[in-house]
C-alpha cells in the first residue's frame, strides 16, 4: 500500500489565489486521486493527479474563494492494485480579502496626502 506524505499546500494561503496546485508524494509507484469529501472510495474519486503513475503527484484545481478552508482527501493505488483504505487530508485556508479604501477626493499632495474617507492616506493593505 502506498505511503502518502508531503501534502501541499497547507496552512494559510494569501487571498486572491483561486488557482491552487495540490501535490503529494508516495513511497512507491502509484496512481493517486482525490475528492472533496472524506470516505470516498478510490474508484469513485473525482480528481486524478498527474502524472498518472509515479511518486510525485500534482493537480491544478481552480475556483477557490477567499476566506474559505479546503480539504482534498487523497487515496492512491500501487502498481500491484493495492489501494489506500483511508484518506490522506491535504487542507489549507485562503485568507480573507484585505480591506481597502484608497478613494481620493480632490488633488493629492506631492507627498501622497490628500485622501479622504476612513483611511485618509490610503490603505496600508495596498
> Domain 4-94, what architecture?
Sandwich (2.60)
Sorted by sequence, the CB contacts under 8 Å of residue 39 that are 6+ apart come out as 73, 87
pLDDT on residue 86 = 97
Secondary structure element (H or E) that encloses residue 25, with its range: strand 20-35
Residues of the chain with pLDDT under 70: 101-126
pLDDT at 98: 86
pTM, 2 dp: 0.76
Amino acid at each position: 500500500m502506498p505511503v502518502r506524505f508531503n501534502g501541499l499546500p497547507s496552512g494559510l494561503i494569501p487571498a486572491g489565489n483561486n488557482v491552487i496546485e495540490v501535490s503529494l508524494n508516495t513511497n512507491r509507484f502509484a496512481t493517486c486521486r482525490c475528492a472533496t469529501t472524506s470516505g470516498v472510495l478510490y474508484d469513485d474519486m473525482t480528481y486524478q493527479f498527474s502524472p498518472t503513475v509515479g511518486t510525485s503527484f500534482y493537480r491544478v484545481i481552480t475556483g477557490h474563494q477567499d476566506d474559505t478552508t479546503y480539504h482534498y482527501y487523497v487515496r492512491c493505488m500501487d502498481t500491484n492494485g493495492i489501494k489506500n483504505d483511508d484518506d490522506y487530508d491535504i487542507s489549507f485556508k485562503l485568507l480573507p480579502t484585505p480591506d481597502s479604501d484608497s478613494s481620493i477626493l480632490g488633488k493629492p499632495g506631492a507627498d501622497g496626502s490628500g485622501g479622504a474617507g476612513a483611511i485618509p492616506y490610503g490603505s496600508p493593505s495596498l
